[in-house]
Amino acid sequence: MTEMNPRERFLAALNLGEPDRVPACPWLTSDWFMGHYDLDSVTWYKSLDAQLEAQLEIYSKFPDMQFFPGFRASYGSTVEASAMGCEIVYPPNATPQARPVIQEIPRDLDKIKVGNPETDGRMPEALELYRALAKKLREHGFEITSGFLHGPMDVASEVRGMTNLLLDFYRTPEAVHHIMDVVTETCVAWARAQYEASGRTMLHILVSDDVSSLIGRDHWREFVEPYMMRLFHSMPEGVVGGIHNCTRSQQVIDLYPHVGARLLQFGPDVDPTFAKEKVGDQMCLLGNLAPTGVLKDGTPQEVEDACRQIIEKAAPGGGFILGSSGSVARFTPIENLEAMVRACEKYGTYSKTSPGTARPACRSARHGCTRGAAQVASGPGKAPG
């Protein structure tokens, strides 16, 4: 078949189709960039030029990756928590951390409020970075394709503290619902603000749900599902909502399509065959190389072999992108990223069925998900020159 450009390839996979080959999209975030370019965290987070130059160089070398993780303004974690009143601390050479604002219930419940992205916490600073990045990218012929936010459960664990939040499930469930409600409204506002600041070019927004690996299915249904559903159904029109869970998600994975998510970045503890069986006809799967382990410490040949095994399990039938399960670790050799690309070139075919065709999008329409029925349209290619 004719070779697709990176945009067509990514979108075909995202729409559950079978592109010309599997795209290779490891998740490069600040930590890897800082290590690769020998930059300290202050320089990295404050310097738009440093972020721009680094992403331009790497994404030009690996063009599929401009769609995942995509050009993004880098501001570390805690931006959502900062807008809800958490004090943020900045350890040297590490991502910022949030101090829980709710220490005691019910005394501190009124201390949280829905964050306003234009005025609260670190959000205005992050939006400025987004706007400036979008402007400069246009001069280079690129655009921002990806958004990211920490999901309701992950942000609630920052606002309340992890242990206390999990104990509150039993002690004060009504307080948990109050926290989740305020957090979710903040997430909705933050997703929309990112989208607007990008110039409305985002194709997908990824929502983390890592903390949910610590809870059972019943608790997820009670305390997380309704809020995730509200968030995904409030995504900007035409944007694919995805879930990132790099840990154990077996107990809830089949519930993810029900909330309206159509992309799943899944963890190395989840067998790709299992993920494919559970949600492969409803979600594009992205993964699932462990960021530490072979990808960081193996030889390029070992990385290639690991990629081949994942491709063989997850690619047949379409809707699959080869990636890491979480942020690629600092000092992961660039040769190992090249090995991922090589593995896709050698082994990245999907199946015997006709390649290059998008399947009907979200089967979750049968669960009432109308948003997921929309496909992301393929526009002109944005292959870097």
CB under 5 A: which stretch of 40-48, 142-150, 176-184, 243-251 binds Zn ion? 243-251
Per CB under 5 A, 155 contacts Zn ion: no
Kindly indicate which of the ranges 204-212, 278-286, 292-300, 344-352 contains the residues binding Zn ion, using the contact rule CB under 5 A: 204-212
Please say which residue, 76 or 326, places its beta carbon nearer to Zn ion: 326
Q: Considering only 145-153, 162-170, 244-252, 271-279, which stretch makes contact with Zn ion by CB under 5 A?
A: 244-252
- Helix segments in 172-315, DSSP class H: 173-197, 217-219, 225-232, 272-279, 294-297, 300-314
Nearer to Zn ion, 98 or 137 (CB): 98
State how far the alpha carbon of 243 is from the alpha carbons of 7, 59, 263, 287, 366, in Å: 21, 23, 6, 12, 20
Extract the tokens encoding 378: 């393929």
Is 290 near Zn ion (CB under 5 A)? no
Residues 113-132 that bind Zn ion (CB under 5 A): none
Q: How far is 133 from 114, CA to CA, in rounded Å?
A: 26
H runs (alpha helix) in the chain: 6-14, 30-36, 41-46, 48-61, 79-83, 123-139, 152-160, 162-171, 173-197, 217-219, 225-232, 272-279, 294-297, 300-314, 334-347
Shortest Å distance, C-beta 152 to Zn ion: 15
Residue (26 or 318) nearer to Zn ion, CB: 26
CA of 368: how far to CAs of 23, 259, 260, 262, 338, in Å?
30, 9, 9, 14, 41
3-class DSSP assignment, residue 208: strand
Candidates 20, 185, 210, 304: give the one binding Zn ion (CB under 5 A): 210
Q: Does 326 bind Zn ion (CB under 5 A)?
A: yes
Size of the site for Zn ion (CB under 5 A): 3
- When the beta carbons of 123 and 207 are compared against Zn ion, the nearer one is 207
Q: Among residues 246, 259, 263, 303, which is the contact residue for Zn ion, using CB under 5 A?
A: 246
Scanning 169-177, 188-196, 298-306, 326-334 for contacts with Zn ion by CB under 5 A, the matching segment is: 326-334
Of 201, 287, 217, 210, which Cα lies nearest the Cα of 258?
A: 217
Query: How far is the C-alpha of 256 from the C-alpha of 261, rounded, in Å?
Result: 6
For residue 24, what are its two tokens? Answer: 């290779």
> What's the token pair of residue 322?
């080869």
Residue with the closest Cβ to Zn ion? Answer: 246
Q: How far is the CB of 226 from Zn ion (least distance, A)?
A: 22
We find the least distance from the C-beta atom of residue 101 to Zn ion, in angstroms, to be 23
In the complex, the residues that contact Zn ion under the rule CB under 5 A are 210, 246, 326
